[in-house]
Chains A and B, each alone.
Chain A
Amino acid sequence: MPLAAKLFIFSLVCALPGIDLGWKLLQDNLGANPVETLEHTTGDWTIYFLLLTLSISPVQQLFVPKWPIPMHLIRRILGLSAFVYALLHLAVYFIFDMGLDIDAAVEDIATRPFIMIGMTALTLLIPLAITSTQGWQKRLKRRWQQLHKLIYPITFLGILHYALLVKADLFMPLLYLLLFGILMLLRQFKLPRLR
C-alpha cells in the first residue's frame, strides 16, 4: 500500500470519534445535555491524542523497530488530531456556551482560571500545528525540536484545565496526570528494547 493511502486511513481512524459525534448530532442522539456531550467528548479526545502523541517516543524505543508508517508521521497526525479536537472543543464552547458573544467569552476567559488555562494550552498548540510540516522542520532545524517540546506544558495545562473544572470526583484527571507523569518519566531513561 502506498504511504499516502496509509496516511489517509490513519487520519480517518483519528477522525472517527469526531465523525461519530457529528453523526449523533445529526441524529439528535447526544443525550439530555447535547452541548455538554459535545464539549466533554471533544475535550476528552484532545487529552487522549496529546497523551498518545507523547507515548510515541517511549513506545518506539521499547517495542517496534519498524512502523508501517514512519514514526514522525504518526506523531504528526496524532498531534494534529489533538489540535483539531481542541479547536472543535473551543468552537462548541464559543457557539453554545458563549452564544457567539465575544465580549462574554473574553470576560469568561479573564475571570475563570480554568478557562484561561485551557485557552493558553490551545494557543500554544497553534504554532506547533503550523510548523508541523517537513518544510518547517527543515527551515527551523534545531529550533524545531525546541519549539515542539511545548507539547509537554501543553499536555499538562490541558489536564490541569480538566482537573480544575471537575466538581468533586478527581479520578479521571488524576489518572491522566499519572499517565502524563509516567510518559515524562520514561523520557529520563534510556529504555531497553523489549523486542
Chain B
Amino acid sequence: MSHLKESDITPQEWFLNRRQLLRTIGAAGLLSTPLNAFADSSLRFQPNPQYRPDLKLTDAEHALHYNNFYELGTDKSDPYRNADRLITDNWQVRIEGECAKPQTFDMDDLLAIEQEERIYRFRCVEGWSMVVPWIGFPLSKLLNKVEPTSKAKYVEFISILDRKNLPGQRFNILDWPYREGLRIDEAMHPLTLMATGLYGEALQNQSGAPLRLIVPWKYGFKSSKSIVTIRLVEKQPISSWMQATPSEYGFYSNVNPQVPHRRWSQAKERPLGSFFKKKTLMFNGYADEVASLYSGMDLRRYF
C-alpha cells in the first residue's frame, strides 16, 4: 500500500506550495492592499499560525466529494453531485433574539471581518475524520456586533430552507430547516469559527456555502451549514438531530471516545483516505482549550 502514502503526501505539498505562493505575494506587499485589489470571488485571508497542528492535511479531493449535507441528499456523494441546487446569491444572515442590536448581515459585511485560515481536526459522529484548512473568523467577533444581553444563554443556528430547490428537503428525513445550537460560552469560545472558505478558496456549496459554523471539538453535525439565522435565546434549543433521535443525539455532542454512540463505538476514527483506524482524542484533541467548559458535568449524561 505504499502508493497510498504518496497520494496522501501530495495535497500537503500542494498546500505548502500555495502557502509559499502566499508568502511571495505577501513579500511583494500585495497582501496589504485593500480588499478590492482582488477579484470579488477571491478570499483574502492570513494563515493563523496558532491553529496549525502538525498534522497531515486530508486530500482536498476527499474532503470536497465526501460530505454529509442532507439538504442535498443523504448519500455521501449527493452533496457534490447536487451542489448547484443550492442557491447562495445575495446571501444574508439575520442575527436576532436576546441582543441589543439585532441585525441582518450580507456576505460583504461578513467578509469585511478579518479572515484567517486555521487547520482543524474534524470528526464525524459516524466515525470518520479529516484535517482541513478552514478560512473564516471567530463567531465571537460576529456575535459581539449585536451585543448579546445577559439573557442570551444559548445560540441557535438555522440553516437554509428551500424546499423547491433542495432535493433533500422534498422528504422530511429531518425536520427542516436544519437547526443546531451551542451554549453561549461555547459559541464565544475562540476555537468556534464561522467558516467562509476551505482549502484556500470560498466554501463550495457541498461544504455549506456561503457560511457555516465550525466547532472543532464537537461532532461534525454541530457545525451547521449554509446558515441563514442565528438566534440568541434563553432556553436550550432542540436541534434537528435531537428531535429526530433523542436517544442517540444529545445537545452537547462533544467528541468523546469514552461515550459510545448507541449503535457504534466512538473510541476510534478512520481518517478519510485511510484503511485503518486511529484512536479518537478527548474533545477531538482540543481538551486543553475546552475541557474547562464542562468541568463538573457528567459527560455520559450530557452527551
**A108 CB contacts on chain B under 8 angstroms:** 265
> Given contacts A112-B263, A164-B263, A165-B263, are A32 and B272 in contact (CB under 8 A)?
yes
**B275 CB contacts on chain A under 8 angstroms:** 34-35, 96
Complex Cα gap A167–B262 (Å): 11
Is A99 interfacial (CB-CB < 8 Å)? Answer: yes
Question: Which residue in B66, B126, B276 is a CB contact (below 8 Å) of A31?
Answer: B66
Is A28 interfacial (CB-CB < 8 Å)? Answer: yes
**A99 CB contacts on chain B under 8 angstroms:** 268, 276-277
**A114 CB contacts on chain B under 8 angstroms:** 263
Is A33 interfacial (CB-CB < 8 Å)? Answer: yes
Q: List CB contacts (< 8 Å) of A68-118 with chain B.
A: 96-97, 99, 108, 111-112, 114
Cβ proximity bits B35-62 to A, threshold 8 Å, 1 near / 0 not: 0000000000000000000000001011
**B128 CB contacts on chain A under 8 angstroms:** 32-33, 36
**A33 CB contacts on chain B under 8 angstroms:** 66, 76, 128, 270, 272
- CB-nearest residue of chain B relative to A164? B263
Is B3 interfacial (CB-CB < 8 Å)? Answer: yes
Interface centre among A96, A108, A114, A168 (most CB of B within 10 A): A168
Q: Verify A32–B62 contact, CB threshold 8 A.
A: yes
Question: Which residue in A34, A111, A168 is a CB contact (below 8 Å) of B174?
Answer: A168
Complex Cα gap A167–B247 (Å): 12
Closest CB of chain A to B266's CB: distance in Å?
Answer: 12
Q: Verify B273–A32 contact, CB threshold 8 A.
A: yes
Q: Using a Cβ–Cβ cut-off of 8 Å, how many residues does chain A contribute to the interface with B?
A: 20
Interface of A is mostly: helix
Is A169 interfacial (CB-CB < 8 Å)? Answer: yes
Q: List CB contacts (< 8 Å) of B123-144 with chain A.
A: 126, 128
- CB-nearest residue of chain A relative to B130? A32
- CB-nearest residue of chain A relative to B73? A169
> Given contacts A99-B277, A112-B263, are A168 and B244 in contact (CB under 8 A)?
yes
**B272 CB contacts on chain A under 8 angstroms:** 32-33
Closest CB of chain A to B250's CB: distance in Å?
Answer: 15
**B263 CB contacts on chain A under 8 angstroms:** 112, 114, 164-165
Complex Cα gap A164–B174 (Å): 17
Is B303 interfacial (CB-CB < 8 Å)? Answer: no
Is B293 interfacial (CB-CB < 8 Å)? Answer: no
> Given contacts A35-B275, A36-B128, are A168 and B74 in contact (CB under 8 A)?
yes
**B63 CB contacts on chain A under 8 angstroms:** 32
Closest CB of chain A to B242's CB: distance in Å?
Answer: 13
Q: List CB contacts (< 8 Å) of A132-160 with chain B.
A: none
Closest CB of chain B to A21's CB: distance in Å?
Answer: 14
Q: List CB contacts (< 8 Å) of B209-230 with chain A.
A: none
- CB-nearest residue of chain B relative to A37? B76
**B244 CB contacts on chain A under 8 angstroms:** 168
Q: List CB contacts (< 8 Å) of A18-46 with chain B.
A: 28, 31-36
Chain B interface (Cβ within 8 Å of chain A)? 3-4, 7, 59, 61-63, 65-66, 70, 74, 76-77, 126, 128, 171, 173-174, 244-245, 260, 263-265, 268, 270, 272-273, 275-277
Given contacts A31-B76, A112-B263, 4 further A-B contacts (CB under 8 A): A32-B272, A33-B66, A114-B263, A171-B171
In the assembled complex, 14 residue pairs joining A and B whose CB atoms fall closer than 8 Å, in A order, are: A28-B7, A31-B66, A31-B76, A32-B66, A32-B76, A32-B128, A34-B273, A34-B275, A36-B128, A97-B277, A168-B70, A168-B74, A168-B245, A169-B74
Top 6 nearest A-B pairs (CB, nearest first) are A32-B66, A32-B62, A169-B74, A32-B272, A168-B173, A169-B173
Chain A interface (Cβ within 8 Å of chain B)? 28, 31-36, 96-97, 99, 108, 111-112, 114, 164-165, 167-169, 171
